[in-house]
Structure 1
Amino acid sequence: MQIKEVLLAPGNGAFFYDDQEAIRSGAIQDGFIYVGAPTTPGFKSIRVPASSLGIGLVLTDDTVVWGDMMNVQYSGAGGRDPLFDTTQISDLTSRVMTPRLLDIDASCYLDACAKVFEPFEHRRLPLAIEYGASQALLRAAAHLHRKTMAEIVCAEFDLPLPSRRVPIYCQSGDAREINVDKMILKAVDVLPHGLINSRQKFGTNGQTFMEFVKWVAMRTCEIGRPGYRPVLHFDVYGWIGQEIGLEPHSIADFICKVADTVSDFTLNIESPADFGSTQAQIENYAKIVSILDNRGSSARIVVDERCNTLEDIRLFAEAKAAHLVQIKTPDVGSIADTARAVLICKANKVGAYVGGSCTETDLSAQASVHVSVATQADMMLAKPGMGVDEAFSIVGNEQNRLLATLNRRRAQSENVG
């Protein structure tokens, strides 16, 4: 067996864990903190520094390959796993995961994942454990086969070696104007997220939000290079439904109104409403998608909340309940399931957006790039953090290095042929 020891290393996530329910309920920002009592179980304050846990696999040649465990920014919201607890995750990893990892063939990636992630006490392991360990196992397989992580994914899922670059999507955090300028100057493919997560940012009847959308479009034309037209993607955290109401036609009307103000751009609206359950979300999102399509609108609906697991993604894709599905990598669990999720979306002719969270790390971001490129996702998130520059360089540079390597591999293969 190729794994002879398992190491654990506490770490930092790149942003903070936030209590979404408390923020939605009107918690006031004071500088960088939120004032008031938390409402989601596990949170001792509304904003908590993100923690992570590295898992290192010591291989028989003494190489150590790593993956990072963490949860998403809005842990415990919309059916997600609770707030990340380093002590609990470390204990469970040591007791359950380590014996399993020492007893597998790490060169067979999907088989290894299947064995290591079997239920424990009739329950699925915490998704953070799956996520981190699956990254480490992917790096182990890549090392053992002397290939890139993307090539391992291609081989395991019988995919051709990719050549297309996957568009990158950046998120602004609360420093909207400055970060939008950074994105435009760097010619980011998809921008700016906007973090429209409160009534103050959305405005009465969405007026504040609409003004921001128009400003982003105007600013792009003002300081962007000639002909630059990024996709405009805004995450409204359910606020269209909260402010306008939960009637699908009213939501579609509002989205069309926004799209009309920026008609030169493709508009993505993420999480327009939260209908309270996965089934209600699927039914109502499918109606909104159908209304927009029948009207010939260029606006696209992106699902996030209530679409967490691989099975959730399958249900949304089969029901055409989104134009794009955010595959939120830590919420999906094993990164092998992220690959499966992209392929499910493609099979159902629904867009696949490999997302994740600002709370992630450089290691998890780089592993996500390999899966995104291997499966040829429609777009991927620049992560971790909320600063734009760091995330865009980590994801963008990893993609460029990977494509250069794959092009060389392809040329070698053609020369041999």
Structure 2
Amino acid sequence: MQIKDVLLAPGNGAFFYDDQAAIRSGATQDGFIYVGEPTTPGFDSIRIPASSLSLGLVLTDDTVVWGDMMSVQYSGAGGRDPLFDTNQISDLMSRVVAPRLLDVDASRFRDSCAKVFEPFEHRRLPLAAEYGVSQALLRAAAHLHRKTMAEIICAEFDLPLPTRRIPIYCQSGDAREINVDKMILKAVDVLPHGLINSRQKFGVNGQTFMDFVKWVATRTREIGRAGYQPVLHFDVYGWIGQEIGLEPQRIADFICRVADTVPDFTLNIECPADFGSTQAQIDNYARIVSILNDRGSGARIVVDERCNTLEDIRLFAEAKAAHLVQIKAPDVGSIADTARAVLLCKGNKVGAYVGGSCTETDFSARASVHISVATQADMMLAKPGMGVDEAFSIVGNEQNRLLVMLNRRRTPNENAGMKSAVS
């Protein structure tokens, strides 16, 4: 067919894999490392450099298109696939996936994914493998049709060419104050994540966290340009539940108190608690959402933990167990399923946030932009890495280029003037 060879190239993710269970149990930081014994299978230390594996498809015209495989930062936590093992994945690629790739019609993206991702030995392929291979297949279809990846998604899912710019969300990592300033100066749409992943960062009764929320709002007013009004989005990694208990009413009360401290801002709270299983998460998050809605609160619940695959996302969306679902692309698997997840959320009137991980690569980040724009998601993550500047540049520039190209597609006979993605 159109694929005549398959290449593999080991690489680096843009951040580190972290043992979330060990960090939650109290592992302390010493510089950039965590001190203590790992507890999650696959980790030989609490923090290890992220790895990736690039898959290249050699097409019949000798063009090579690529996709990147990797795990997310907190692999093996919250129901996710185990830590990425380059050697195991390489063996699977060579024995199982490569022969399948040589036998598909690469011009038909969804059909190709369906054939390549058939179960092996009665089990689904690793989600990291699906993620990377589907990126390469999407790029192959785009090349063969002489279209953008976004246009392939629009055609395959019967969507109109998009026009709306997707808001970009940046995360700070541990360099909170410096990175918040960067985000404000660059007028990022949604900020700052905050990495509230330990008791020290959350504080007794959440006071340290509340002080940080107020500081971000104040800092936005101090150094932001006139009229700048970002959404404030904080990932608390379950620490509201860890600190004040797992009663939905108490969690909702706390979130309302936080929202009351920043009344002029929309407030997103990601992963307020981890209830231990997908069903428990759905039941309790639905109660928290209902309480906040009944109160008319400006706070929104964002689900991450226990909501990984397309089926998980469907369950949360149908139960209205979040205001906004993070569609964490490497955990979803095939990038076609990321597109399906956005459309599923929209069909259930739940917000769709195309996320991912700081451990990703520039190639996976750019592919995610095309999915986000094509499906008109509510927001998308600036990735990879934790440095703000690089991720915001990669995702923002890819979106701007794409929108200019799509605008030209709509007006092919009006090319005399210079076109811009800025509205």
Aligned residue number for residue 157 of structure 1: 157
Aligned residue number for residue 207 of structure 1: 207
Distance 1:269 1:113 in 2: 34
Aligned residue number for residue 313 of structure 2: 313
1:413 deviates by 7.5
Query: Does 2:217 match 1:217?
Result: yes
Equivalent position SS for 1:177: helix
Query: What letter is aligned with 1:97?
Result: V
Query: Does 2:356 match 1:359?
Result: no
1:227 deviates by 1.1
Distance 1:143 1:413 in 2: 23
Aligned residue number for residue 55 of structure 2: 55
Distance 2:231 2:244 in 1: 24
Query: What letter is aligned with 1:126?
Result: P
1:412 deviates by 1.6
Gaps of 5+ in 1: none
Query: What letter is aligned with 2:373?
Result: V
Query: What letter is aligned with 1:60?
Result: T
Aligned residue number for residue 34 of structure 2: 34
Distance 2:94 2:220 in 1: 50
CA deviations on 1:30-82 (whole Å, 9 max, x unpaired) are 00000000000000000000000000000000000000000100000011000
Equivalent position SS for 2:411: helix
Query: Does 2:192 match 1:192?
Result: yes
Distance 2:178 2:156 in 1: 42
Distance 2:194 2:292 in 1: 22
Aligned residue number for residue 137 of structure 1: 137
Distance 1:301 1:56 in 2: 38
Report how many residues are paired.
415
1:387 deviates by 0.2
Query: What letter is aligned with 1:137?
Result: L
Aligned residue number for residue 84 of structure 1: 84
Aligned residue number for residue 241 of structure 2: 241
Equivalent position SS for 1:412: coil
CA deviations on 1:176-222 (whole Å, 9 max, x unpaired) are 00000000000000000000000000000000000000000000000
Query: Does 2:379 match 1:391?
Result: no
Aligned residue number for residue 419 of structure 2: none
Distance 1:265 1:231 in 2: 6
Aligned residue number for residue 179 of structure 2: 179
Give the TM-score normalised by structure 2: 0.98
Gaps of 5+ in 2: 416-423
1:242 deviates by 0.3
Query: What letter is aligned with 1:236?
Result: V
Distance 1:196 1:139 in 2: 36
Distance 1:252 1:77 in 2: 24
Distance 1:170 1:195 in 2: 11
CA deviations on 1:77-104 (whole Å, 9 max, x unpaired) are 0110001100000000111000000000
Query: Does 2:105 match 1:105?
Result: yes
CA deviations on 1:234-273 (whole Å, 9 max, x unpaired) are 0000000000110000000000000000000000000000
Distance 1:227 1:252 in 2: 30
Distance 1:137 1:379 in 2: 24
Aligned residue number for residue 10 of structure 2: 10
Query: Does 2:121 match 1:121?
Result: yes
Query: Does 2:354 match 1:370?
Result: no
Equivalent position SS for 1:326: strand
Equivalent position SS for 2:357: coil
Q: Within 5 Å, which residues of 2 pair with 1:327-342?
A: 327-342=327-342
Distance 2:413 2:195 in 1: 45
Aligned residue number for residue 267 of structure 2: 267
Distance 1:157 1:413, change over 3 A: farther
Give the TM-score normalised by structure 1: 0.99
Distance 1:112 1:226 in 2: 49
Equivalent position SS for 1:55: strand
Aligned residue number for residue 347 of structure 1: 347
Equivalent position SS for 2:82: coil
CA RMSD of aligned residues (A): 0.8
Distance 2:68 2:336 in 1: 15
Query: Does 2:95 match 1:95?
Result: yes
Equivalent position SS for 1:61: coil
1:395 deviates by 0.0
Distance 1:281 1:164 in 2: 32
Distance 1:153 1:184 in 2: 33
Aligned residue number for residue 254 of structure 2: 254
Distance 2:282 2:96 in 1: 35
Distance 1:413 1:407 in 2: 11
Equivalent position SS for 2:113: helix
Aligned residue number for residue 418 of structure 2: none
Aligned residue number for residue 72 of structure 1: 72
Aligned residue number for residue 299 of structure 1: 299
Residue identity (%):
88
Runs of 4+ in structure 1 deviating by more than 3 angstroms, as ranges, are none
1:414 deviates by 8.7
Query: What letter is aligned with 1:256?
Result: C
Query: What letter is aligned with 2:209?
Result: F
Distance 1:260 1:157 in 2: 41
Query: What letter is aligned with 2:165?
Result: R
CA deviations on 1:289-340 (whole Å, 9 max, x unpaired) are 0000000001000000000000000000000000000000000000000000
Distance 2:138 2:108 in 1: 9
Equivalent position SS for 2:79: coil
Aligned residue number for residue 421 of structure 2: none
